């Protein structure tokens, strides 16, 4: 099922067991922010970027290295080099995604990001080393920026596709099929929002963090919250802008987010995450966040 009907989705989702596979990835890869700079094309529809601010390449590299060192204590974490001509490559989850045995290639909106899909080293690692089959979504017309646009409950095979300039209905349908999902809910993001994973995160299949202000129709946020109740953490607009919704469960008991995002949480929200079984792990990423994404955007999961 792929639908915009909240009630129909909830009916099926609530009856769907958590038996698809692991809720969290077995490994991950990241891409270094070489010659860190802001991409003008990406800034055209990413309001979290400001081309007038200065960015520090050395500091971004150091923070990225710190992210890899921290992540490696939880799961195997590979780092591929970045390239000067692909400044957004440090956010590989929009371009590359996996299910067991398959590497999925996204259909990116901007030419500067379309170049990333051609990476022979990343694709070769999956096809030649791991023996994964490629599923190339560039062959269909829909725009679909993978796990930036689509938030997935891996345990139950549920998808949440926020539609924007970075993902249309055709692209959502292509991702629904490529990821082999049981049910996907489509909804419009609020004007100015570019990716779903900035306003929504499903943590290990049992909790949700979301910002209703990032949804065009608040009923969509309410439906998703109801599905994961009582483990639903609702963010205000300021927390959304601090990338608090751009968090990820890298282990069944760990919620990872940036230091800025973690600092924005209120005491009752921290308690709600603890009650859901999550320890908060915060990493310094404020320089990288100037590029319009945060911790979850940096992580390409390997299933």
- pLDDT for 46 equals 61
Q: Give the dihedral sign, CA 89/132/104/197.
A: negative
Q: What is the pLDDT of residues 221-238, one digit of tens each?
A: 999 999 999 999 999 999
What CATH number does the domain containing 175 carry?
3.75.10.10
Domain that holds residue 239: 2-302
Residue 248 forms beta bridges with which residues? 256
Do 143 and 162 touch, CB atoms closer than 8 A? no
Residue pLDDT, tens place only, 12-53: 999 999 999 999 999 999 999 987 755 454 545 566 645 466
Band the pLDDT of 291: cuts 50, 70, 90.
Answer: confident
Residue 299 pLDDT > 60: yes
Strands (E), 33-182: 77-80, 96-99, 102-105, 133-136, 150-153, 158-163
How far is it, in rounded angstroms, from Cα 196 to Cα 193? 8
The single residue listed with the structure tokens 């390997």 is 302
Surface-to-core class of residue 93, CB atoms within 10 Å of its CB (0-12 exposed, 13-18 middle, 19+ buried): buried
CA 189 vs. chain centroid, Å, equals 15
Domain count, the chain: 1
Query: What is the rounded distance in angstroms from the CA atom of residue 290 to the CA atom of residue 303?
Result: 29
CA dist., res. 193 & res. 167, Å (int): 11
Task: Please tell me whether the overall predicted TM-score, pTM, comes out greater than 0.85 for this model.
Answer: yes
Q: Which of 53-57, 98-102, 211-215, 298-302 has the lowest mean pLDDT?
A: 53-57
What is the reported pLDDT for 43? 44
pLDDT tens-digit map of 242-273: 999 999 999 999 999 999 999 999 999 999 99
Residue pair 256/292 in contact (Cβ under 8 Å)? The answer is: no
CB 300 within 8 A of CB 103: no
């Amino acid at each position: 099922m792929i639908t915009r009907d909240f009630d129909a989705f909830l009916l099926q989702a609530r009856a769907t067991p958590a038996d698809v596979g692991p809720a969290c990835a077995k490994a991950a890869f990241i891409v270094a922010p070489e010659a860190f700079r802001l991409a003008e094309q990406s800034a055209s529809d990413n309001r979290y970027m400001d081309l007038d601010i200065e960015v520090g390449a050395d500091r971004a590299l150091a923070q990225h290295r710190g992210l890899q060192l921290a992540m490696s204590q939880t799961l195997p974490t590979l780092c591929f080099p970045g390239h000067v001509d692909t400044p957004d490559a440090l956010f590989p989850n929009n371009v590359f995604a996996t299910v067991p045995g398959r590497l999925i290639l996204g259909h990116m909106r901007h030419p500067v990001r379309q170049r990333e899909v051609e990476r022979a080293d990343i694709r070769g690692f999956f096809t030649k080393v791991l023996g994964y089959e490629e599923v190339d979504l560039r062959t269909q017309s829909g725009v679909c920026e993978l796990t930036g646009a689509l938030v997935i409950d891996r345990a139950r095979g549920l998808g949440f596709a926020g539609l924007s300039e970075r993902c249309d209905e055709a692209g959502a349908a292509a991702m629904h099929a490529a990821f082999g999902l049981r049910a996907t809910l489509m909804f419009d993001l609020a004007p100015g929002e570019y990716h779903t994973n900035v306003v929504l995160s499903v943590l290990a299949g049992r909790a949700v963090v979301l910002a209703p202000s990032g949804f065009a129709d608040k009923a969509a946020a309410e439906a998703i919250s109801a599905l994961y109740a009582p483990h639903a953490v609702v963010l205000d607009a300021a927390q959304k802008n601090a990338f608090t919704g751009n968090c990820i469960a890298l282990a069944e008991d760990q919620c990872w987010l940036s230091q800025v995002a973690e600092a924005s949480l209120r005491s009752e929200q921290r308690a709600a995450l603890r009650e859901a079984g999550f320890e908060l792990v915060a990493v310094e990423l404020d320089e990288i966040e100037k590029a319009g994404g945060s911790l979850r955007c940096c992580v390409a999961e390997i299933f």
